[in-house]
Structure 1
């Protein structure tokens, strides 16, 4: 289909054939590809393992991946692997840690040096720097007396996320220690400022701390220096607030290391201009010191703060890209100022790169399709900086008037160069029409790859080999771990570069880069007509011929222990998760009956010991009390409804099933074990009367592994089988005639029914929190033949409440606005202590002293203890302090107010 010139101008450059805003007149533009200069090697400047930021170690083989690959063919482990979460958010978090340029250059024309700044230290909470000067037509490293880099004296105890530098214009007649620039280092919640000085007499740079600003309400999103006033800077917070700082009064202050005070501009935009699902991105100064451009993920705004009431103009919206956008739910990712006049800015989203002008809102001047994966770095540089020292002056006009946008990602190691500039008189009809009412810009040729490392080649064979090498790595290894990638770079000043390098045919530049291997090196680049050059060294280099990069923190020592995998049979777990545990047990029991009958593994002595223990706990064969009464009598600590229901289910199990749930280590030794089997660890059943699963008991002192030093004993251990298994076996024991009904049995459903029963009974026999009294149906304990619990004249012996720690207000509690909605876990019940006789004036000198501290019945698992006069005096002091705390503790007072008079008397 034939399209007009004007219509094709709306399509991104790179997505349409022969767009009218694309100039490919190479006869006037010159070469626009930049490659490492052939036959040259990078110049090493400094190397240290502390230079690259240590990222979190890559995750080892995840549990879900181990399950899915532990057996072939498909097995139970494969089927439940999907139930576990993926490895981690490791792959999603790391790109954000490398979103900023980690190396910055500050050039001083008067001293003819360049200062190189970067972060360093074990936690990268300090600023490292050195000077780069020229001696004998070669770059020379200028550091401290020990040959190391200079390091800032103070460290922040927080990782530095970004650094910025701002040069100060050199003037004649300045002193020896005058300020040559400023540096700003940003952490997550603080900004620190430095002044940069260079002493000519000693030829040493210095970094002097000016002050800092700590933000407690919100994290820092972006910061920038003013190109108009070097001492001014602006900070943008995550909540949209802006702060303007002026360093002029702090640089020569007699009280360094102070806190800077800035002018605050509150959040200047509401959600009326966006969708609400946005985040603040960046801030830059525009053409005036009080005119700013603020970028958000969905829009860009021009903010005029010259007057008391700020004026806001929307310059761009993500919605305006919909006619030619190629990504759904796109958002802006990178933003930067373009040019020196402050009118233009560049903006990148997931698919497009835009050149905009503040004088033409909602009308981008140029837009490219960049084909980069989540670019986070963007910068604009004049073409004259990249094509300096040119012997051929045929392209002088293009060199002086052109601009280059560098867009890419340090994590993906992909950068592209987008060249643009003014149009000439013969650029086409559309350009001529545009030139009538504004100064037009045209894209100069198609975007090109910008190679930051000389170890890359863009020929087809190398690209294919690189992609295959990445795919061959295991999924838990990032290819960045195997390749020496660029973490930061800067373009060296042409004044310093021309003292070392001779002029090139079409010009070039010197790149200073920071590698993930800890090296800082200089590499010469030259302009070329062709991006792909025949580099024998690049073709010989494979992608992963480096040692493991220092980018990752892999620990100081190697793993010294043998790596052995233990395989677990998770078939029962799978059946429980899929709610078909009965099917699994049924199939297992049918298979076991086909083989020879095994002998009974329970000895008579063990049977007697087990019966005696269970009888003490109320598990006798002929129980005189109902199971629910036993369970409530066993409550001694605050217990959830689910725990009470679980104990009731244990109490209803017959003795024949309980014999399967408990054992002793001598009995466990009869079970056939492999030599490589993990030792079985179980806890000893306590001697005090308790109900399973015996909360707050001591762990076992041994396992199935024993030696001559640790002798066997007859301690009762368990439960050795979980409750869902026992409930399902109990259902089989009942002899349901229909096998399908047995397979439909669910232990979780049974637990839910028991929880409802316990909850209904608890609401009648306990002093209740008002938010728990939602069910009109209650079950009377008269059915349980325990009339002393339902006597209305007696004080109720239990307290039913909802923990309110961390809740916002009592209104939320009354409305049931809790984090967890399931009452069987959030509703707690505990036993209330018995009221003492007020006429009893006997002084208590034992543990009963603590009964007055709270309405809950306290039990101590220690021998009888009596206190003397000194202990009693200390107890009275502590009790007074505790009573004062109870009076000030709002949730406790609200709980007392919500309950009836009976509880208030007890409290």
Structure 2
């Protein structure tokens, strides 16, 4: 395919077979080997300590759908899963990942000594800056630690977690190249900054000549109380300058020379006009460009060039996420990371969810080079010279390619994926001048290659399959990274230090230091190769699961000392009820092992239940009790569904009620017979007030065997048992339905409610259910000739029009539950009487209050407080229009 030069860069490498800017090794273009394999014989342990394990608790990852009710077939109440699940992203995002999105290990090389300073976060909350020195001596590296054998620590002055570290090495400052005595006891080898969620801390790394040990001194810090820190970086042009980007898009410039040591730093806020800023976009990173006052700033949807050279700042767009739609059609596509790139400071690299781009600030909206990277969530990106990865070689055949080529190391630390993307100019091979060219014919060198940073994993087919199978074997709420030793940070030693450590490689290589999740610092040599190493089966490591150790959870020296007992519940009754087959299930059970309920007479329970039923108008002979007797139990507001349920409970024979209510001693006896490992059984206590079962609004039962508790058997089961007792042994076909029985009783209650209650919303609301019985001559309903002492009403939340009951507005309506009935207290005399008991509260509420507490007389001080509260309550009621309207409808008048 013949394409013009300006269109070649729009075809990403790896997206298809067509990649005009992809070059491969050939006699005319000797690129050399671009694969890097770890040398297993070079692996060595530098330092290890259990105290260096990451201080992280990884919570189980559970999808929101696990917490949402969803039943099949649909239940009476609607499922909220369909309306809520869409609000959550389906992308796997674990709360444990953010602390591991960035590299945790950084290195500062001494300018004129074979030393290297390793820095990393540590402490109980990763709030300290830890460091130690590597010294090359006797053909190997030696670690310099404190007197206790631990790393040195520098405090940030806060307890917040260090999220990122950035180093700024000093080339020749502070060192003269000799060991002569100097006025300065400590010489600066570099600067570094550490960022937390809301603060930035600046440090100077020095080497104390007298103590011959490293030191890291805090120069100052800056707190951002109103907005979190998104990114901070050093200037490559001016040693002491750095810039900080907040998540709001604000930029601050800091200069170490202008800041007072020991005090909070005061940076210069850069007035950048973000005209198209949006709260839904995420600010990612910032970097210096070719000029000290030109910045490249990345947001999740765009990359901007910020020019601060003039008085008025100018902002221009360098790249938009929309330009990637052809090869990244996902609507959730966004930029993830930004980095300076080579060959000079005009270039930068930016990565999105699918594509890696190499861009030039002089060519906005036109990428220089693109790759489809295929890495899940890449957030780490570093640009290196190819000569840094192919140093110390015995052959010079590819020296020209090594000196002119560059590599982008891209990957995800949390997902343990890293690839190397090589690129460079072809003009170097043609010996043409490139001084006048903006884009010196930059092309991709070979396809991206994977690099294994762990250094000791086998890539044969058997090991790869075993690794994937072990991931699938884990529960869905555990990430495999929590069970495997992963690389949390790494750094590459300078060529000078690496050359003194090992013999030259055939095609060169590099030396890597890694920090693992088990607290180990390892050093290993990688060599450039033409093919990726694949171990033979007999050379594979031990055939064990690779996910066998829990590493990222907090560890403890003490073992769990308490016995682990597991109790399993058999939910076959609940499953039968949910599937609509409770009747058939119970009938089969009863036919197999049916026992008369009168096997054991429990006098205490029998007497208590009879007492409560008699108080509510249900005597021992309850063949045809009056329906209106159920309403005598309605004191507090109750839905008509609750009234119907009480009616059904009151109709149950005494022997079945005694099955549902037990003493606590009997509960323990039943549980002990079922399970030798006694389990705690908590039920609600039967109240002392005269009420009908199932006894609403109760307290938890005290741990005393004298209390009556219950119900311990669900009402649907009791209803089926009652039908079976009354000669319904042939119900195995499932004709009897609990829902149908409850619906019939509900209609009966609605009929009576229409006669004994006044409606607060007009006479037409109950047309579908209530039938006037005033003309029925067969039965005279109690209370029909008296003034109605009950009020029917609907709560304000249910007073919606029919058009509001739609799925889009998530409004659910059921007439069985939205109609309430309340007892209207009788009018009392207005004569002044001394109020000493709970009756003093009756004139404050249209609801008849009931107290399950002993009667106490109010003292004078209590009466004074009551009068004050009563005046305040009355004032509020007078100003509340809805309450006044309700009082008029319910005929409640305050005294």
Structure 2 residue matching 1:54: 3-state secondary structure: coil
Give the aligned partner of residue 746 of structure 1.
Answer: 739
Is the Cα–Cα contact under 8 Å of residues 634 and 690 in structure 1 kept in the other structure?
A: no
Is the aligned partner of 1:404 residue 2:404? no
| 1:146 matched to 2:148 | yes
Instruction: Tell me: CA distance 1:676–1:187, structure 2 relative to 1, closer, same or farther (3 Å).
Output: farther
Which of 359, 375, 381 pairs up with 2:362? 359
In structure 2, the residue matched to 1:616 is 615
Structure 1 alignment gaps of length 5 or more: 66-79, 703-709, 805-812
Q: For the Cα contact (< 8 Å) 1:731–1:742, is it kept in 2?
A: no
Question: Is the 1:168–1:180 Cα contact (8 Å) retained in structure 2?
Answer: yes
Q: In structure 1, how many angstroms separate the alpha carbons of the residues matched to 2:221 and 2:541?
A: 51
2:387 is aligned, of 370, 384, 387, to 384
Give 1:179 shift: 5.9
Rounded Cα–Cα distance in structure 2 between residues aligned with 1:45 and 1:162: 22
How is 1:715-754 mapped onto 2 (pairs within 5 angstroms)? 715-726=707-718, 742=735, 746=739, 750=743
Distance 1:608 1:858, change over 3 A: closer
Residues 467 and 546, structure 2, Cα contact 8 Å, conserved in 1: no
The verdict on how the C-alpha distance between 1:691 and 1:297 changes in structure 2, with shifts beyond 3 A counting, is farther
1:585 to 583, 586, 593: 583
The more displaced of 648-657 and 30-39 is 648-657
| Partner-residue secondary structure (3-state), 1:380 | strand
The answer to whether residue 260 in structure 2 is matched with residue 269 in structure 1 is no
CA distance in structure 2 between the aligned counterparts of 1:828 and 1:265, rounded to whole angstroms: 60
| Pairwise CA distance, 1:541 | 4.7
Distance 2:631 2:292 in 1: 79
Q: String of CA shifts for 1:765-811, please: whole Å, max 9, x gaps.
A: 6989x9xx9999997999875579966xx9x989975699xxxxxxx
Counterpart of 1:863 (choices 848, 854, 869) is 854
User: Residues 560 and 166 of structure 1: is their aligned pair in 2 closer, same or farther, counting only changes over 3 Å?
Assistant: same
- 1:297–1:261 CA distance, 2 compared to 1 (3 A): closer
Shift of 1:448: 1.6
Closer, same or farther in 2 for the Cα pair 1:509/1:672, shift >3 Å? closer
Contact kept in structure 2, 1:30 and 1:395, CA below 8 Å: yes
CA displacement at 1:687 relative to structure 2: 2.0
Counterpart secondary structure, 1:52: coil
2:551 alignment partner in structure 1: 550
Q: Which moved more, 1:447-456 or 1:305-314?
A: 305-314
| DSSP-derived class of the 1:746 partner | helix
Pairing partner for 2:338 from 316, 335, 338: 335
Change (3 A) 1:268 1:754: farther
**CA distance change for structure 1 residues 656 and 457 in 2, over 3 Å: closer, same or farther?**
closer
Match of 1:117 among 95, 119, 123: 119
Is contact 1:327–1:351 with CA below 8 Å preserved after alignment? no
**Unaligned segments of structure 2, at least 5 residues:** 68-78, 176-182, 775-780, 799-803
Give CA deviations for 1:301-353 in whole Å, capped at 9, x if unaligned.
43445667764444334443344448685444443332374432223334432
User: Counterparts of 2:656 and 2:499 in 1: how far apart (Å)?
Assistant: 90
Q: Partner of 1:213 in structure 2?
A: 223
Match of 1:192 among 184, 200, 205: 200
Output the CA distance in 1 between the equivalents of 2:187 and 2:766. Answer: 79
Once the 2 structures are TM-superposed, how far is the Cα of residue 90 of structure 1 from its aligned partner? Answer: 8.9
Aligned partner of 2:489 in structure 1 is: 488
Structure-2 separation of matches of 1:495 and 1:894: 85
Partner-residue secondary structure (3-state), 2:526: strand
| Structure 2 equivalent of residue 255 of structure 1 | 263
Scaled by the length of structure 1, the TM-score of the pair is 0.76
Change (3 A) 1:607 1:357: same
Alignment of 1:406-485 (within 5 A): 406-424=409-427, 438-471=439-472, 478-485=479-486
Q: Is the 8 A contact 2:353 2:377 kept in 1?
A: yes
- Asked if the contact 2:751/2:769 (under 8 Å) is kept, the reply is no
Q: Is 1:575 aligned to residue 601 of structure 2? A: no
CA distance in 2, matches of 1:405, 1:866: 84
Do structure 1's residue 320 and structure 2's residue 320 form an aligned pair? Answer: no
Q: How does 1:625-640 map to 2 (within 5 A)?
A: 626=628, 629-635=631-637
Q: Distance in 1 between matches of 2:193 and 2:785?
A: 75
Alignment partner of 1:613: what SS?
helix
Query: Which deviates more, 321-330 or 366-375?
Result: 321-330
Instruction: Tell whether the 8 Å contact from 2:793 to 2:819 is kept in structure 1 after alignment.
Output: no
Question: Is the 1:455–1:541 contact (alpha carbons within 8 Å) kept by the matching residues of 2?
Answer: no
Instruction: Tell me the equivalent position of 1:23.
Output: 23
Say whether the 8 Å CA contact 2:204–2:219 is kept in structure 1: no
* Cα gap change, 1:503 to 1:829, in 2 (>3 Å): farther
Which residue is equivalent to 1:682? Answer: 683
Partner of 2:76: none
* Cα gap change, 1:196 to 1:172, in 2 (>3 Å): closer
1:528 matched to 2:529? The reply is yes
Measured in 1, the distance between the counterparts of 2:290 and 2:845 equals: 69
SS of the residue aligned with 1:39?
Answer: helix
Sort the Cα spacing of 1:196 and 1:587 in 2 relative to 1 into closer, same or farther, 3 A: same
Q: Which deviates the most, 496-505 or 774-783?
A: 774-783
Distance 1:660 1:751, change over 3 A: farther
Q: Per-residue deviation at 1:425?
A: 6.8
Distance 1:891 1:332 in 2: 59
- Once the two structures are TM-superposed, the CA of residue 102 in structure 1 deviates from its matched residue by 1.7
SS at match of 1:316: strand
Flag the 1:147–1:315 CA change in 2: closer, same or farther, 3 A.
Answer: same
The partner residue of 1:50 within 52, 60, 82 is 52
Superposed displacement of residue 488, structure 1: 0.9
SS at match of 1:336: strand
Q: How many residues align?
A: 843
Return the offset for 1:363.
2.5
Paired residues of 1:456 and 1:538 also in contact (CA < 8 A): no
**Most deviating of 678-687 and 731-740:** 731-740
Query: Where do residues 706-855 of structure 1 align in structure 2 (5 Å cutoff)?
Result: 715-726=707-718, 742=735, 746=739, 750=743, 786=783, 840=832, 842=834, 844=835
What residue in structure 2 maps to residue 244 of structure 1? 252
Alpha-carbon distance between aligned partners in 2 of 1:440 and 1:449, rounded to the nearest angstrom: 25
- Equivalent pair of 2:121/2:128 in contact (CA under 8 Å): yes
Where 2:403 maps in the other structure, the secondary structure is: helix
Between the aligned partners of 2:133 and 2:607, the Cα distance in structure 1 is 86
- 2:398 paired with 1:395: yes
Q: CA deviation at 1:664?
A: 4.3
